[in-house]
Amino acid sequence: MGTKQTDIVIIGAGAAGATLAVLLGQVGFDVVLVDPYPPKSFKQTETTGRTVALIGSSVEILKAAGVWDKLEGLSCPMHTMKIIDVSKGDKEPVSIEFDAMDAGRDEFGYNIPNAPLRAALFERVQKLKNIQFREARFHDYRADEHGVTVRLDSGDEIRAQLLIGADGKNSAVREFAGIQTRNHDYGQTAITCIINHSKSHQNISTECHTPNGPTATVPMPGNQSSVVWVETHEKAEGLLHLKKHEFEQALQAQIHNLLGGLTLEKGPEGWPLDTVKARDIIAPRLALAAEAAHALPPITAQGLNLSLRDVATLAEILTDKARLGVDIGSQPVLNAYKKRRHLDIDTRVAGVDILNRFVANDVAAIKGARRAGLKTLDSIYPLKMLAMRVGLSPKIDESRLARGEAL
Ligand SMILES: Cc1cc2nc3c(=O)[nH]c(=O)nc-3n(C[C@H](O)[C@H](O)[C@H](O)COP(=O)(O)OP(=O)(O)OC[C@H]3O[C@@H](n4cnc5c(N)ncnc54)[C@H](O)[C@@H]3O)c2cc1C
């Protein structure tokens, strides 16, 4: 079998890998995108029990990839974010609300169903003539001074200047490259589902902090919301095996009747949670992006937002360097990617990890500190504004695409 020549091989056509393929394909790179599980077509997809809350610049990046027109009607703007601490059952809950209008915006971002997001991106992939999709699994690669040869389990061999691993948190590319990870298992499972409810959600995304972990309701179009309910593995296992009406009752108790009467529309499904952080995001002729580089628990909805920032920065660096005639797989180019991404990745991973441990903590002193922290934040206006800006638009490594500019 002959060797296919291309500019870039991307392993993994999840939301991050497919976005990157589209951004690179649009500016003229030849790309081979590899995944054993291509998403269903947009028409065939139905909403599953999972959505992603995409904040601030992420929507700009999806617009740049040409998929926002398809997704906007299926997505719901989030005007307000509310955090409620209900950890002290005997005391009044403490809460804080952040309004997008206070930050001079109409909305913080949008809640987007996962399956249509992947399908819309994959349709863009198929429309771009210079992206070739291979339904296969990564097998191995060999890097040398002039390029990289990637082998797939189909027996195909591809020669490129650069290999990008966007193959998720158990990345085979990362493992083959010998890049170690730092892992933390929280002993928690996220239960996700979609519910119908009688009260309007008023475009408010609410995160209830309980001793076992957070429970979030995130608005969807109409009187529907997606739910992410974090519990210990043992408790989650029990909840996932309840009958439908029993689960509805348990969820109602968990969210304190927040949205009126509720019925289950989709799910529930369980997702074990951990943090996985690659010790490096580059190796000779290789860059890691998205969950292959960092996977986070869902508290404060950072995961894909962080990943899309990787993808936007990598697309910008590769485009700029190619325009200057520089070898896009060379070490200075890879170093530039690592240098621009490390602060954003390190601070987000550490921040989410600390927050997740802090929230899922039943020690009395920590519960008290958590409640006092929310009260302080709510009562000191500049502090609240600062928290909101940091959450909204991380200025660390802002790419042109994140600012709504062209590549
Ligand atoms: C419960 C939950 C709620 C979440 N909520 C939010 C949220 O509100 N906001 C947010 O920003 N993030 C959220 N996240 C995180 C977000 O869902 C993930 O970051 C995102 O889906 C991961 O995208 P990815 O493209 O990096 O990886 P994946 O979606 O895992 O894609 C990896 C792809 O690589 C392919 N692959 C794997 N191995 C190979 C191989 N050997 N060869 C070829 N291909 C391979 C897989 O088939 C897959 O298609 C949440 C996560 C969870 C668990």
The pLDDT of residue 358 is 60
Compute the half-sphere exposure of residue 211: CA atoms within 13 Å on the CB side of its CA: 11
d(CA 2, ligand 1 centre) in Å: 32
| Predicted confidence (pLDDT) per residue in 217-234, tens digit | 999 999 999 999 999 999
| Predicted confidence (pLDDT) per residue in 51-62, tens digit | 999 987 899 999
Angle at 313 between CA 310 and CA 318, to 5 degrees: 120
Please check whether residue 99 lies inside any domain of the structure.
no
- CA–CA separation, 307 vs 313, rounded Å? 10
We report the CATH number of the domain holding residue 125 as 3.50.50.60
d(CA 276, ligand 1 centre) in Å: 12
Q: Is the pLDDT of residue 9 over 70?
A: yes
Burial class (CB within 10 angstroms; exposed 0-12, middle 13-18, buried 19+) of 139: middle
The pLDDT of residue 337 is 98
- CA–CA separation, 226 vs 75, rounded Å? 11
Q: Is the pLDDT of residue 239 over 90?
A: yes
Please check whether residue 157 lies inside any domain of the structure.
yes
- CA–CA separation, 277 vs 75, rounded Å? 30
Give the range of the structural domain holding residue 48, as residue numbers without chain letter: 3-57+114-183+275-360
Please check whether residue 367 lies inside any domain of the structure.
no
The pLDDT of residue 42 is 65
Q: What are phi and psi of 378, to 5 degrees?
A: -70, -30
Q: Is the pLDDT of residue 323 over 80?
A: yes
Per-residue pLDDT, averaged over 342-358, amounts to: 81
Please check whether residue 48 lies inside any domain of the structure.
yes
230 close to ligand 1 (CB < 6 Angstrom): no
pLDDT-based confidence at residue 214 (cuts at 50, 70, 90): confident
The pLDDT of residue 379 is 56
Angle at 133 between CA 132 and CA 138, to 5 degrees: 115
d(CA 69, ligand 1 centre) in Å: 22
Q: What are phi and psi of 123, to 5 degrees?
A: -65, -40
Per-residue pLDDT, averaged over 366-384, amounts to: 57
| Mean of all residue pLDDT scores within the chain | 89
Please state which of the ranges 3-7, 250-254, 288-292, 368-372 shows the lowest mean pLDDT: 368-372
Whether omega for the bond prior to residue 36 falls within 30 degrees of 0, making it cis, is: no
Ligand 1 closest atom vs CA 291: 26
| Predicted confidence (pLDDT) per residue in 260-308, tens digit | 999 999 989 999 988 999 999 999 999 999 999 999 888 777 899 999 9
Please check whether residue 208 lies inside any domain of the structure.
no
Please check whether residue 36 lies inside any domain of the structure.
yes
For residue 304, what is the DSSP state? Answer: H
- CA–CA separation, 174 vs 287, rounded Å? 9
Q: What are phi and psi of 309, to 5 degrees?
A: -70, -35
d(CA 8, ligand 1 centre) in Å: 21
| Predicted confidence (pLDDT) per residue in 144-173, tens digit | 999 999 999 999 999 999 999 999 999 999
Distance of CA 272 to the CA centre of its chain: 15
Please check whether residue 159 lies inside any domain of the structure.
yes
The pLDDT of residue 81 is 87
User: Atom 11 of ligand 1 has which residue's CA nearest to it?
Assistant: 304
Give the total number of structural domains in the chain.
1
Please state which of the ranges 65-74, 177-186, 376-385 shows the lowest mean pLDDT: 376-385
Q: Encoding tokens for residue 370?
A: 């958590």
- CA–CA separation, 403 vs 195, rounded Å? 34
Please check whether residue 73 lies inside any domain of the structure.
no
- CA–CA separation, 236 vs 272, rounded Å? 10
| pTM exceeds 0.75, yes or no | yes
Q: Which residues contact 239 (CB under 8 A, 6 or more apart)?
A: 191, 229, 231, 247, 250, 268
